[in-house]
Amino acid sequence: MKKAVIFDLDGVLVHTDRYHYDSWCLLTRQLGIPFTPAQYDTLRGLSRMDSLERILALSSRQFTRAEVEALAEEKNEAYLKRVEQMGPAEVEPEVRRTLAGLREKGLLLAVGSSSKNAQLILRRVELTDCFDAIADGSMVRRAKPDPEVFLKAAQLLGVAPAEALVVEDGAAGLRAARDGGFQTAAFGGDAAGSPLADYDLTRLTQLLELV
């Protein structure tokens, strides 16, 4: 029996995964590090710092802590420039339809995102009011693949992990959800086709038949 659905943000509710990729590309071009969409796929759901450390490991250069922090800041500034352009039209009608349908069925809804910009993005696209709880990267100590952010979302909703389904585009997010005891649905990204997913969605509206 499912009582709640917990949605990943970047790459599931909104297409900010493209903006993350573009912003990382600005950095990797500067640093002469080859970086492809397939490489970005493996970073889905990882924190900003964990993503950057993985990217810098592709370089032969060593970076000081101060350099790493400046690069993380630079990437976030580039990303925020794209986020500032976002508005409600960036949410696919299918997403709003799915959220409204789940709500009608009596499901509790939450966001579980590694992003420290999640609240800002949800406000910009006018999705904040669609959720009963929002857990994000600013509220946890360990990012995905650790289950902490999803456990936080479940706690805020007042449901047990086994009563909630997590929807993810990242394999790291599926791992987090699995380790936290949640049911899992993959939706695109490197989550698609993963053995860590109980369900593999090609459209978000399929959730309405699952719950």
As a whole number of angstroms, the distance between CA 25 and CA 35 comes to 7
9 scored as a contact of ligand B16 (CB under 6 A): yes
8 scored as a contact of Mg ion (CB under 5 A): yes
Q: Which one of 28, 51, 183, 194 is in contact with ligand B16 (CB under 6 A)?
A: 51
Element (H, E) at 164: strand 164-168
Residues 76-135 that bind ligand B16 (CB under 6 A): 76, 113-117
- Stretch of 39-47, 88-96, 125-133, 202-210 lying at the interface with ligand B16 (CB under 6 A): 39-47
As a whole number of angstroms, the distance between CA 2 and CA 23 comes to 37
136 in active site: no
**Pick from ligand B16, Mg ion, none: which does 48 bind, CB < 5 to 8 A by kind?**
ligand B16
As a whole number of angstroms, the distance between CA 140 and CA 71 comes to 22
Nearest residue (CB) to ligand B16, 54 versus 105: 54
Output the six-digit token pair for 153: 């979302």
Residue nearest to ligand B16 (CB): 113
Q: Which one of 43, 55, 125, 135 is in contact with ligand B16 (CB under 6 A)?
A: 43
Q: Which one of 52, 169, 180, 182 is in contact with Mg ion (CB under 5 A)?
A: 169
170 scored as a contact of Mg ion (CB under 5 A): yes
10 in active site: yes
137 scored as a contact of ligand B16 (CB under 6 A): yes
10 scored as a contact of Mg ion (CB under 5 A): yes
Output the six-digit token pair for 5: 């659905």
**Pick from ligand B16, Mg ion, none: which does 153 bind, CB < 5 to 8 A by kind?**
none
As a whole number of angstroms, the distance between CA 35 and CA 39 comes to 6
As a whole number of angstroms, the distance between CA 26 and CA 163 comes to 41
b/e string for 42-51 if b means 16 or more Cβ within 10 A? Answer: ebbbbbbebb
Element (H, E) at 4: strand 4-7
Segments in 1-43 forming alpha helices (H)? 16-31, 37-41
Asked whether the beta carbons of 44 and 191 are under 8 A apart, the reply is yes
47 scored as a contact of ligand B16 (CB under 6 A): yes
Where does this chain bind ligand B16 (CB under 6 A)?
Answer: 8-11, 20, 43-48, 51, 76, 113-117, 137, 144, 170
Residues involved in catalysis: 8, 10
